[in-house]
Amino acid sequence: MVVGLGNPGPDYARTRHNVGQMVIDELADRFGTRLTAHKAGAAVGTAHVRPGGPKLLLAKPASYMNVSGRPVGALARFYSVAPANIIVVHDELDIPFDALKLKIGGSEGGHNGLKSISQVLGTKDYLRVRVGVGRPPGRQPAADFVLRPFSAAERELLPLHLDRAADAVVELATASLEQAQQKFHPAPTR
């Protein structure tokens, strides 16, 4: 199950906080999947990575970010998906805009959507695609920054960023976390 975090409604649709849902839209477009409303409080659709390959359940919670755990937990129960088979795609302030990181478990880093999911699932041990949105400029509060649209320069590069994050999701679904990290994490600088 691949969950893209964000907030509902057109006011939030193109903000940094909704980058997880943008990745789900990219995957749905890529696989020709239509997302439809589910009683768990999310838009869902299924996609096959390749014929006979892994099946992905794509999900965009219809709730606000801070209560993402409710629909994620309901979907996990409905589809009998263990936390280890959940990939959560979300915005990450501590990663530059043009980068992403993959991990399982660990701290939520102050991300209220992840905290809600961890609380409902009863574990932090689910996969995460942390899509970099960068830090706010100057003294701008982080909450204001993530709820604003991307800058003009970022919007030019956003399709590439979303495409790469979608590739990372597919890699996580078809290979090990370590293999995906080797492919998508930036090489260390010397």
Q: Three-state secondary structure along 49-62?
A: CCCCCCEEEEEEEC
Phi and psi, residue 69, nearest 5°:
-60, -35
Helix (H) or strand (E) segment spanning residue 34: none
Which residues are CB-neighbours of 167 under 8 A, at least 6 positions away?
Answer: 184
Decide: helix, strand or coil at residue 155.
helix
Where do the DSSP E strands lie in the chain?
2-4, 36-38, 42-48, 55-61, 87-92, 100-104, 127-132
111 is catalytic: no
Which residues are CB-neighbours of 128 under 8 A, at least 6 positions away?
Answer: 87, 88, 89, 90, 102, 103, 104, 114
* Catalytic residue (one of 17, 90, 111, 161): 17
| 44/55 Cα distance (integer angstroms) | 13
Q: Which two tokens stand for residue 29?
A: 């477009």
Active site residues: 17
